[in-house]
Structure 1
Protein backbone atom coordinates (compact mmCIF):
# COMPACT_ATOMS: atom_id res chain seq x y z
CA UNK A 1 0.00 0.00 0.00
CA UNK A 2 2.85 2.41 0.76
CA UNK A 3 4.27 1.79 -2.71
CA UNK A 4 0.92 2.69 -4.29
CA UNK A 5 0.86 5.93 -2.33
CA UNK A 6 4.36 6.76 -3.51
CA UNK A 7 3.40 6.13 -7.11
CA UNK A 8 0.29 8.27 -6.75
CA UNK A 9 2.42 11.06 -5.31
CA UNK A 10 4.72 10.87 -8.34
CA UNK A 11 1.74 10.89 -10.66
CA UNK A 12 0.37 14.00 -9.00
CA UNK A 13 3.62 15.94 -9.18
CA UNK A 14 5.01 14.81 -12.53
CA UNK A 15 2.32 16.16 -14.90
CA UNK A 16 2.48 19.81 -13.90
CA UNK A 17 4.84 22.31 -12.40
CA UNK A 18 4.94 22.39 -8.61
CA UNK A 19 3.51 25.96 -8.65
CA UNK A 20 0.28 24.88 -10.33
CA UNK A 21 -2.08 25.29 -7.40
CA UNK A 22 -4.98 23.68 -9.27
CA UNK A 23 -3.27 20.27 -9.52
CA UNK A 24 -4.00 19.18 -5.94
CA UNK A 25 -7.75 20.01 -5.91
CA UNK A 26 -8.23 18.57 -9.42
CA UNK A 27 -6.40 15.39 -8.41
CA UNK A 28 -8.51 15.11 -5.25
CA UNK A 29 -11.72 15.58 -7.28
CA UNK A 30 -10.66 12.96 -9.83
CA UNK A 31 -9.75 10.42 -7.16
CA UNK A 32 -12.97 10.99 -5.22
CA UNK A 33 -15.41 11.31 -8.13
CA UNK A 34 -14.06 9.94 -11.40
CA UNK A 35 -11.54 7.12 -11.03
CA UNK A 36 -14.18 4.67 -9.73
CA UNK A 37 -16.42 4.97 -12.79
CA UNK A 38 -13.73 4.61 -15.46
CA UNK A 39 -14.01 0.84 -14.98
CA UNK A 40 -17.71 0.91 -15.81
CA UNK A 41 -18.58 -1.76 -18.40
CA UNK A 42 -19.99 0.94 -20.71
CA UNK A 43 -16.52 2.53 -20.99
CA UNK A 44 -14.55 -0.73 -21.06
CA UNK A 45 -16.72 -2.42 -23.70
CA UNK A 46 -16.83 0.68 -25.93
CA UNK A 47 -13.02 0.92 -25.82
CA UNK A 48 -12.51 -2.78 -26.49
CA UNK A 49 -14.93 -2.70 -29.40
CA UNK A 50 -13.40 0.37 -31.03
CA UNK A 51 -9.86 -0.92 -30.47
CA UNK A 52 -10.77 -4.06 -32.44
CA UNK A 53 -12.44 -1.96 -35.15
CA UNK A 54 -9.44 0.38 -35.44
CA UNK A 55 -6.65 -2.14 -34.89
CA UNK A 56 -5.36 -1.92 -38.46
CA UNK A 57 -5.86 1.81 -39.07
CA UNK A 58 -2.82 3.49 -40.57
CA UNK A 59 -1.75 7.01 -39.68
CA UNK A 60 -2.95 8.15 -43.12
CA UNK A 61 -6.41 6.70 -42.41
CA UNK A 62 -6.44 8.36 -38.99
CA UNK A 63 -5.51 11.70 -40.58
CA UNK A 64 -8.34 11.26 -43.14
CA UNK A 65 -10.86 10.51 -40.38
CA UNK A 66 -9.68 13.54 -38.41
CA UNK A 67 -9.99 15.75 -41.52
CA UNK A 68 -13.53 14.43 -42.08
CA UNK A 69 -14.41 15.20 -38.45
CA UNK A 70 -13.06 18.76 -38.71
CA UNK A 71 -15.02 19.36 -41.91
CA UNK A 72 -18.19 17.99 -40.30
CA UNK A 73 -17.60 20.09 -37.18
CA UNK A 74 -17.87 23.22 -39.33
CA UNK A 75 -21.05 22.06 -41.08
CA UNK A 76 -24.64 21.15 -40.24
CA UNK A 77 -24.21 17.57 -41.46
CA UNK A 78 -21.94 15.30 -39.43
CA UNK A 79 -22.43 11.55 -39.83
CA UNK A 80 -19.02 10.62 -38.38
CA UNK A 81 -19.47 12.92 -35.39
CA UNK A 82 -23.00 11.59 -34.85
CA UNK A 83 -21.71 8.00 -34.61
CA UNK A 84 -19.58 9.09 -31.65
CA UNK A 85 -21.80 11.67 -29.92
CA UNK A 86 -24.94 9.56 -30.43
CA UNK A 87 -23.64 6.28 -29.00
CA UNK A 88 -24.45 4.77 -25.56
CA UNK A 89 -21.02 5.72 -24.18
CA UNK A 90 -21.62 9.40 -25.01
CA UNK A 91 -25.01 9.24 -23.26
CA UNK A 92 -23.28 7.74 -20.20
CA UNK A 93 -20.66 10.54 -20.27
CA UNK A 94 -23.34 13.25 -20.63
CA UNK A 95 -25.12 11.84 -17.57
CA UNK A 96 -21.86 11.95 -15.58
CA UNK A 97 -21.26 15.54 -16.67
CA UNK A 98 -24.78 16.61 -15.65
CA UNK A 99 -24.47 14.79 -12.30
CA UNK A 100 -21.32 16.78 -11.50
CA UNK A 101 -23.38 19.93 -10.93
CA UNK A 102 -21.20 22.10 -13.16
CA UNK A 103 -17.78 20.87 -12.02
CA UNK A 104 -17.26 18.77 -15.16
CA UNK A 105 -17.36 20.76 -18.40
CA UNK A 106 -16.61 17.93 -20.85
CA UNK A 107 -15.65 14.27 -20.94
CA UNK A 108 -14.25 12.21 -23.74
CA UNK A 109 -12.95 8.67 -24.00
CA UNK A 110 -10.06 7.97 -26.38
CA UNK A 111 -9.09 4.60 -27.90
CA UNK A 112 -5.69 2.95 -28.34
CA UNK A 113 -5.11 4.89 -31.58
CA UNK A 114 -5.95 8.24 -29.98
CA UNK A 115 -9.42 8.50 -31.58
CA UNK A 116 -12.57 9.58 -29.75
CA UNK A 117 -14.90 6.78 -28.68
CA UNK A 118 -17.47 8.85 -26.78
CA UNK A 119 -17.92 12.52 -25.88
CA UNK A 120 -20.23 14.43 -23.58
CA UNK A 121 -19.72 17.55 -25.71
CA UNK A 122 -18.78 17.67 -29.39
CA UNK A 123 -15.05 18.30 -29.77
CA UNK A 124 -13.42 20.04 -32.71
CA UNK A 125 -11.23 17.08 -33.65
CA UNK A 126 -11.45 13.30 -33.71
CA UNK A 127 -7.80 12.40 -33.20
CA UNK A 128 -6.36 13.16 -29.76
CA UNK A 129 -3.24 11.02 -30.30
CA UNK A 130 -1.09 14.05 -31.02
CA UNK A 131 -1.99 15.71 -27.70
CA UNK A 132 -0.58 15.35 -24.16
CA UNK A 133 -3.96 14.15 -22.82
CA UNK A 134 -3.40 10.86 -24.69
CA UNK A 135 0.39 10.76 -24.87
CA UNK A 136 0.87 11.30 -21.12
CA UNK A 137 -1.74 8.72 -20.14
CA UNK A 138 -2.28 5.84 -22.56
CA UNK A 139 1.37 5.79 -23.66
CA UNK A 140 2.55 6.18 -20.03
CA UNK A 141 0.84 3.05 -18.73
CA UNK A 142 -1.62 1.89 -16.12
CA UNK A 143 -3.15 4.21 -13.47
CA UNK A 144 -1.56 7.34 -14.89
CA UNK A 145 -3.17 10.71 -14.13
CA UNK A 146 -2.16 13.82 -16.06
CA UNK A 147 -3.48 17.21 -14.94
CA UNK A 148 -2.96 19.80 -17.64
CA UNK A 149 -2.40 23.53 -17.19
CA UNK A 150 -5.22 25.79 -16.11
CA UNK A 151 -6.64 27.87 -18.94
CA UNK A 152 -9.50 30.26 -19.44
CA UNK A 153 -11.98 28.85 -21.94
CA UNK A 154 -12.68 31.53 -24.52
CA UNK A 155 -16.28 30.49 -25.14
CA UNK A 156 -17.38 30.02 -21.51
CA UNK A 157 -14.88 32.34 -19.78
CA UNK A 158 -14.39 29.58 -17.18
CA UNK A 159 -11.02 28.78 -15.69
CA UNK A 160 -10.58 25.08 -16.33
CA UNK A 161 -8.09 22.26 -16.53
CA UNK A 162 -8.24 18.88 -18.19
CA UNK A 163 -7.52 15.79 -16.13
CA UNK A 164 -6.72 12.69 -18.14
CA UNK A 165 -6.39 9.10 -16.95
CA UNK A 166 -5.28 5.85 -18.51
CA UNK A 167 -8.17 3.40 -18.81
CA UNK A 168 -7.08 -0.20 -18.31
CA UNK A 169 -8.83 -3.48 -18.93
CA UNK A 170 -9.96 -4.64 -15.45
CA UNK A 171 -9.28 -8.27 -16.43
CA UNK A 172 -5.75 -7.88 -17.82
CA UNK A 173 -4.57 -4.61 -16.30
CA UNK A 174 -3.38 -3.49 -19.76
CA UNK A 175 -4.07 0.06 -20.98
CA UNK A 176 -6.90 0.14 -23.54
CA UNK A 177 -7.47 3.89 -23.83
CA UNK A 178 -7.74 7.12 -21.93
CA UNK A 179 -10.38 9.46 -20.57
CA UNK A 180 -10.18 13.24 -20.39
CA UNK A 181 -12.38 15.28 -18.07
CA UNK A 182 -12.61 19.06 -18.23
CA UNK A 183 -12.81 20.51 -14.71
CA UNK A 184 -14.30 23.94 -13.97
CA UNK A 185 -11.77 25.20 -11.42
CA UNK A 186 -14.16 27.89 -10.21
CA UNK A 187 -16.63 25.15 -9.18
CA UNK A 188 -14.18 23.11 -7.08
Structure 2
Protein backbone atom coordinates (compact mmCIF):
# COMPACT_ATOMS: atom_id res chain seq x y z
CA UNK A 1 0.00 0.00 0.00
CA UNK A 2 2.85 2.36 0.86
CA UNK A 3 4.49 1.77 -2.53
CA UNK A 4 1.20 2.49 -4.29
CA UNK A 5 0.71 5.66 -2.26
CA UNK A 6 4.26 6.81 -3.02
CA UNK A 7 3.73 6.10 -6.72
CA UNK A 8 0.50 8.15 -6.77
CA UNK A 9 2.22 11.05 -4.99
CA UNK A 10 5.13 10.83 -7.41
CA UNK A 11 2.77 10.94 -10.39
CA UNK A 12 0.97 13.95 -8.94
CA UNK A 13 4.25 15.81 -8.48
CA UNK A 14 5.29 14.95 -12.04
CA UNK A 15 2.02 16.31 -13.41
CA UNK A 16 2.33 19.51 -11.38
CA UNK A 17 5.88 20.02 -12.59
CA UNK A 18 5.21 19.20 -16.23
CA UNK A 19 4.86 22.87 -17.19
CA UNK A 20 7.58 25.45 -17.45
CA UNK A 21 7.85 26.09 -13.73
CA UNK A 22 8.07 23.75 -10.78
CA UNK A 23 7.81 25.31 -7.39
CA UNK A 24 7.85 24.29 -3.80
CA UNK A 25 6.47 27.80 -3.27
CA UNK A 26 2.80 28.40 -4.01
CA UNK A 27 2.85 32.21 -4.27
CA UNK A 28 2.27 33.17 -7.94
CA UNK A 29 3.26 36.81 -7.32
CA UNK A 30 6.57 35.72 -5.84
CA UNK A 31 7.13 33.33 -8.74
CA UNK A 32 6.66 36.17 -11.22
CA UNK A 33 9.07 38.41 -9.32
CA UNK A 34 11.65 35.63 -9.03
CA UNK A 35 11.28 34.65 -12.68
CA UNK A 36 11.96 38.26 -13.69
CA UNK A 37 14.94 38.47 -11.32
CA UNK A 38 16.65 35.36 -12.69
CA UNK A 39 15.91 35.84 -16.39
CA UNK A 40 18.79 36.06 -18.84
CA UNK A 41 17.90 39.71 -19.35
CA UNK A 42 18.33 40.38 -15.62
CA UNK A 43 21.28 38.00 -15.25
CA UNK A 44 23.26 38.20 -18.50
CA UNK A 45 26.06 36.18 -16.88
CA UNK A 46 23.88 33.08 -17.45
CA UNK A 47 24.87 33.23 -21.12
CA UNK A 48 28.28 34.82 -20.62
CA UNK A 49 30.85 32.97 -22.79
CA UNK A 50 33.15 32.38 -19.80
CA UNK A 51 30.35 30.80 -17.74
CA UNK A 52 29.18 28.66 -20.65
CA UNK A 53 32.77 27.62 -21.40
CA UNK A 54 33.37 26.61 -17.76
CA UNK A 55 30.29 24.39 -17.71
CA UNK A 56 31.08 22.86 -21.09
CA UNK A 57 34.68 22.18 -20.05
CA UNK A 58 33.56 20.33 -16.93
CA UNK A 59 30.94 18.42 -18.94
CA UNK A 60 33.71 17.27 -21.26
CA UNK A 61 35.98 16.41 -18.33
CA UNK A 62 33.29 14.26 -16.71
CA UNK A 63 31.84 12.73 -19.89
CA UNK A 64 31.12 9.07 -19.20
CA UNK A 65 31.95 9.34 -15.50
CA UNK A 66 30.66 6.40 -13.45
CA UNK A 67 28.16 7.01 -10.65
CA UNK A 68 30.55 5.23 -8.30
CA UNK A 69 33.20 7.88 -9.01
CA UNK A 70 30.66 10.67 -8.45
CA UNK A 71 29.70 9.08 -5.13
CA UNK A 72 33.37 8.77 -4.14
CA UNK A 73 34.07 12.45 -4.85
CA UNK A 74 30.85 13.50 -3.13
CA UNK A 75 31.62 11.42 -0.03
CA UNK A 76 35.11 12.90 0.23
CA UNK A 77 33.65 16.41 -0.03
CA UNK A 78 30.96 15.67 2.59
CA UNK A 79 33.49 14.19 5.01
CA UNK A 80 35.76 17.25 4.67
CA UNK A 81 32.82 19.65 5.08
CA UNK A 82 31.58 17.80 8.16
CA UNK A 83 35.04 17.70 9.74
CA UNK A 84 35.55 21.39 9.09
CA UNK A 85 39.10 20.79 7.95
CA UNK A 86 40.86 21.15 4.62
CA UNK A 87 38.76 20.51 1.53
CA UNK A 88 41.05 20.70 -1.52
CA UNK A 89 38.18 20.05 -3.96
CA UNK A 90 36.16 22.97 -2.57
CA UNK A 91 39.22 25.21 -2.44
CA UNK A 92 39.97 24.52 -6.10
CA UNK A 93 36.41 25.36 -7.19
CA UNK A 94 36.11 28.41 -4.93
CA UNK A 95 39.32 29.82 -6.40
CA UNK A 96 38.57 29.16 -10.07
CA UNK A 97 37.83 31.92 -12.57
CA UNK A 98 34.10 31.28 -12.89
CA UNK A 99 33.61 31.31 -9.10
CA UNK A 100 35.38 34.67 -8.97
CA UNK A 101 33.07 35.93 -11.72
CA UNK A 102 30.01 34.70 -9.82
CA UNK A 103 31.23 36.42 -6.64
CA UNK A 104 31.34 39.68 -8.61
CA UNK A 105 27.71 39.05 -9.63
CA UNK A 106 26.73 38.60 -5.97
CA UNK A 107 28.74 41.64 -4.86
CA UNK A 108 27.17 43.81 -7.56
CA UNK A 109 23.57 42.74 -6.91
CA UNK A 110 22.82 45.21 -4.12
CA UNK A 111 22.04 42.33 -1.77
CA UNK A 112 19.36 40.81 -4.01
CA UNK A 113 21.55 37.80 -4.80
CA UNK A 114 22.98 36.08 -1.75
CA UNK A 115 24.62 33.07 -3.37
CA UNK A 116 25.16 31.38 -6.73
CA UNK A 117 25.90 27.70 -7.35
CA UNK A 118 26.77 26.62 -10.90
CA UNK A 119 26.33 22.91 -11.77
CA UNK A 120 27.27 20.76 -14.76
CA UNK A 121 25.25 18.15 -16.66
CA UNK A 122 25.78 15.61 -13.87
CA UNK A 123 24.86 18.02 -11.07
CA UNK A 124 28.48 18.47 -9.95
CA UNK A 125 29.63 21.89 -8.73
CA UNK A 126 31.40 23.99 -11.36
CA UNK A 127 31.50 27.34 -9.58
CA UNK A 128 30.17 28.62 -6.28
CA UNK A 129 30.14 31.71 -4.11
CA UNK A 130 29.62 29.99 -0.76
CA UNK A 131 30.31 26.66 0.90
CA UNK A 132 28.17 23.62 0.24
CA UNK A 133 27.82 20.44 2.26
CA UNK A 134 28.15 18.32 -0.87
CA UNK A 135 29.75 18.25 -4.32
CA UNK A 136 26.97 16.43 -6.18
CA UNK A 137 23.53 18.04 -6.55
CA UNK A 138 22.25 15.52 -9.09
CA UNK A 139 20.06 13.79 -6.51
CA UNK A 140 18.31 17.02 -5.51
CA UNK A 141 15.25 18.81 -6.97
CA UNK A 142 17.19 22.01 -7.71
CA UNK A 143 19.08 20.11 -10.41
CA UNK A 144 16.65 17.32 -11.31
CA UNK A 145 13.55 19.46 -11.93
CA UNK A 146 15.46 21.78 -14.26
CA UNK A 147 18.01 19.56 -16.00
CA UNK A 148 16.29 16.19 -16.35
CA UNK A 149 12.80 17.62 -15.89
CA UNK A 150 10.87 20.12 -17.98
CA UNK A 151 10.82 23.11 -15.61
CA UNK A 152 12.62 26.28 -16.66
CA UNK A 153 12.41 27.47 -13.06
CA UNK A 154 12.43 25.58 -9.79
CA UNK A 155 12.14 27.57 -6.60
CA UNK A 156 11.70 26.86 -2.92
CA UNK A 157 9.46 28.42 -0.33
CA UNK A 158 11.22 31.38 1.29
CA UNK A 159 12.98 30.49 4.53
CA UNK A 160 14.44 32.74 7.19
CA UNK A 161 18.23 32.78 7.20
CA UNK A 162 19.56 32.16 10.71
CA UNK A 163 22.45 34.60 10.34
CA UNK A 164 20.92 37.56 8.51
CA UNK A 165 17.23 37.10 9.33
CA UNK A 166 16.43 37.61 5.62
CA UNK A 167 13.78 35.55 3.85
CA UNK A 168 15.65 33.64 1.16
CA UNK A 169 14.45 31.54 -1.76
CA UNK A 170 16.49 29.26 -3.99
CA UNK A 171 15.74 29.64 -7.70
CA UNK A 172 17.25 27.16 -10.16
CA UNK A 173 17.33 27.83 -13.90
CA UNK A 174 18.96 26.08 -16.86
CA UNK A 175 22.29 27.16 -18.28
CA UNK A 176 21.97 26.97 -22.07
CA UNK A 177 24.50 26.66 -24.83
CA UNK A 178 23.75 29.80 -26.88
CA UNK A 179 24.69 27.99 -30.09
CA UNK A 180 22.19 25.15 -29.91
CA UNK A 181 20.04 26.30 -26.98
CA UNK A 182 20.39 22.88 -25.34
CA UNK A 183 20.74 22.59 -21.57
CA UNK A 184 24.32 22.16 -20.44
CA UNK A 185 23.93 22.78 -16.71
CA UNK A 186 21.96 24.48 -13.96
CA UNK A 187 22.45 27.65 -11.94
CA UNK A 188 20.93 27.97 -8.48
CA UNK A 189 20.53 31.59 -7.43
CA UNK A 190 19.69 32.35 -3.79
CA UNK A 191 17.63 35.53 -3.57
CA UNK A 192 16.67 37.87 -0.73
CA UNK A 193 12.92 38.15 -1.37
CA UNK A 194 12.62 41.51 0.42
CA UNK A 195 15.05 43.12 -2.02
CA UNK A 196 13.68 41.77 -5.30
CA UNK A 197 11.48 44.78 -5.97
CA UNK A 198 14.24 47.28 -5.35
State which drifts further: 87-96 or 156-165.
156-165
4+ residue stretches of structure 1 with deviation over 3 A? 16-21
Aligned ranges 1:24-39 → 2 under 5 Å: 24-31=32-39, 32-34=41-43, 36-39=44-47
Which of 62, 77, 80 in structure 2 is aligned with 1:69?
77
Distance 2:152 2:113 in 1: 19
User: Aligned partners of 1:147 and 1:17: how far apart in 2?
Assistant: 7
State the shift of 1:176 in Å: 0.6
Determine which structure has more spread, i.e. the larger CA radius of gyration: 2
Q: Which residue of 2 aligns with 1:162?
A: 170
User: Deviation per CA, 1:152-178, whole angstroms, max 9, x where unpaired?
Assistant: 223332211011111111112211100
Structure 1 residues 131, 111: closer, same or farther in 2, change over 3 A?
A: same
C-alpha displacement of 1:109: 0.5
Take 2:23 and 2:165, find their aligned partners in 1: how far apart are those partners?
Answer: 24
SS at match of 1:136: helix
Q: CA separation in 2, counterparts of 1:16 and 1:55? A: 31
- Among 90, 107, 113, the alignment partner of 1:98 is 107
- Contact 2:74/2:136 (8 A) holds in 1: yes
**Aligned to 2:121, what secondary structure does the other structure show?**
coil
Aligned equivalents of 1:184 and 1:82: distance in 2? 26
How far off its partner does 1:148 sit?
1.9
TM-score in terms of structure 1 length: 0.86
Indicate the larger mover: 83-92 or 50-59: 50-59
- Structure 2: unaligned runs, 5 residues or longer: 1-18
Matched position secondary structure for 1:22: helix
1:33 partner SS? coil
TM-score (structure 2 length as normaliser): 0.82
**Alignment RMSD:** 1.8
- TM superposition shift of 1:107: 0.1
Q: CA deviation at 1:17?
A: 5.1
Moved more, 123-132 or 92-101: 123-132
Give the deviation of 1:21 after TM superposition.
4.3
CA contact (8 A) 2:25 2:158 kept: no
Structure 1 CA distance for aligned equivalents of residues 162 and 192 of structure 2: 13
Q: Structure 1 stretches of 5 or more lacking a match? A: 1-9
Q: 1:181 to 1:39 in 2, by over 3 A?
A: same
Aligned residue pairs, count: 176
User: Is 2:145 the partner of 1:127?
Assistant: no
